[in-house]
Amino acid sequence: MTEAAVCPRCQGTGWKLVDRDGIAGVERCDCYQQERGGRLVEAAAIPALFRNASFETFSTQPENPVAHRALQTAVTVAASYAREYPAGVKKLGLMFIGDPGTGKTHLAVSVIRRLMARGFECVFFDYQNLLERIRSSYDQSSGAAQREAYRTALDCEILLLDDLGAHRVTDWVEDTVTSLITYRYNNNKPVIVTTNLRDSEAGDAPVPSGMAGDVSSRWYLSERIGIRARSRLFEMCRVISTRGVEDYRMRKNR
Ligand SMILES: Nc1ncnc2c1ncn2[C@@H]1O[C@H](COP(=O)(O)OP(=O)(O)OP(=O)(O)O)[C@@H](O)[C@H]1O
Ligand SMILES: [Mg+2]
Ligand SMILES: [Zn+2]
């Protein structure tokens, strides 16, 4: 390390001397938080498309009254969670539920970026990709790294599980997601999930008959992850719904 790179306030120790009413003490230096924040962001494995997603770059669409109401609530709840976790939140996790393209992943990433800036470890997993990695961890030749991924999903401080239920249902999938959610539930470890599956608990009306549109939102959460995982998720998570908001990807293309 070069001379200039050493923090002048703490000489690179991460602790600085402070004087409180004439009594000398030590305190974490700001450079420690910054460095830890940087390491956490790297380890979080946020996909490139969302790496810079933040509350600041999220529009609550003031020009559209219906969307505006839902998005403003979503931002308020998400931002207060990010500010008050863990002591000041009633439920340790969050569930973003709503149609495709309505900003669920954007907001979930905004939350974990704030949490990491506060020093909490967060890890992003795409649900489908995580399942594939768990499946291939049983394969002797490619196992170790994949087993590590599963371990991280089980044990990391805050797990962001993106696009929950976006997978065809098999007993294996249901068992795997149930054991992951149950493990975190039993150990009081929060999850932040996003999903476009429907659920009456989140205020979703029954599927309209002959509904066109996106196929995935015709499914109910319980059909894709099973009733046990669903029940635990609702107990663990505060729900943030973006149902009914217009698809931002389509809007941008107009
Ligand atoms: N209100 C918004 N303001 C700014 N950008 C937005 C907003 N909503 C969505 N976006 C952007 O639009 C794209 C789609 O949003 P995002 O991926 O968060 O949607 P999603 O609800 O997670 O969709 P899916 O269910 O398909 O995963 C992203 O690039 C996101 O940054
Ligand atoms: Mg998404
Ligand atoms: Zn320092």
CATH number at residue 230: 3.40.50.300
- Which of 108, 102, 135 lies closest to 124 in space, CA to CA? 108
Residues with CB under 6 A from ligand 1: 53, 57-59, 61, 71, 100-106, 163, 194, 196, 248-249
CA of 38 to the centre of ligand 3 (A): 14
Distance CA 53, CA 33 (A): 21
Lowest model confidence (mean pLDDT) among 72-81, 135-144, 204-213: 204-213
Please report whether residue 123 resides in a domain. yes
pLDDT at 109 over 80: yes
Do 58 and 110 form a contact (C-beta atoms < 8 A)?
yes
201 within domain boundaries:
yes
What pLDDT sits at residue 2? Answer: 44
**Which residues sit with Cβ closer than 5 angstroms to ligand 2, an ion?**
105
Share of the chain above pLDDT 70, in %: 93
Å from CA of 3 to ligand 2 middle: 44
- Mean pLDDT of the 102-128 span: 96
What value does the mean pLDDT of the chain take?
Answer: 90
For the CA of 195, the nearest atom of ligand 1: 25
| Residues whose CB falls within 8 Å of the CB of residue 139, separated by 6 or more in sequence, listed in order | 146
The ligand 1 atom at the shortest distance from the C-alpha of residue 163 is 27
Tell how far the Cα of 204 is from the centroid of ligand 1, in angstroms.
20
Range of lowest pLDDT (158-172, 177-191, 204-218): 204-218
Residue 254 is predicted with a pLDDT of 67
Residue 87 belongs to some domain of the structure: yes
Does residue 165 sit within a domain?
Answer: yes
Residue 12 placed within a domain:
no
In a domain, 27, yes or no: no
Over 90: is that where the pLDDT of 139 sits? no
Cis peptide upstream of residue 86 (ω within 30 degrees of 0): yes
Domain holding 233, by residue range, is: 44-253
pLDDT digits (tens, 9 = 90+) for 200-227: 898 888 876 665 555 446 789 999 999 9
Instruction: Please indicate whether residue 159 or residue 211 has the higher confidence score (pLDDT).
Output: 159
Residue 230 belongs to some domain of the structure? yes
User: Which chain residues have CB less than 5 Å from ligand 3, an ion?
Assistant: 7, 9-10, 29, 31
- Rounded to two decimals, what is the model's pTM? 0.89
Residues 98-102, mean pLDDT to the nearest whole number: 94
Weakest mean pLDDT among 111-115, 133-137, 186-190, 193-197: 133-137
Count of domains observed in the chain = 1
pLDDT at 3: 45
3-state secondary structure the chain: CCHHHCCCCCCCCCEEEEEECCEEEEEECHHHHHHHHHHHHHHHCCCHHHCCCCHHHCCCCCCCHHHHHHHHHHHHHHHHHHHHCCCCCCCCEEEEECCCCCCHHHHHHHHHHHHHHCCCCEEEEEHHHHHHHHHHCCCCCCHHHHHHHHHHHHHCCEEEEECCCCCCCCHHHHHHHHHHHHHHHHCCCCEEEEECCECHHHCCCCCCCCCCCCCHHHCEHHHHHCHHHHHHHHHHEEEEECCCCCCHHHHHHC
Mean pLDDT of 150-154: 95
Using alpha carbons only, how large is the chain's radius of gyration in Å?
21
Instruction: Please report whether residue 50 resides in a domain.
Output: yes
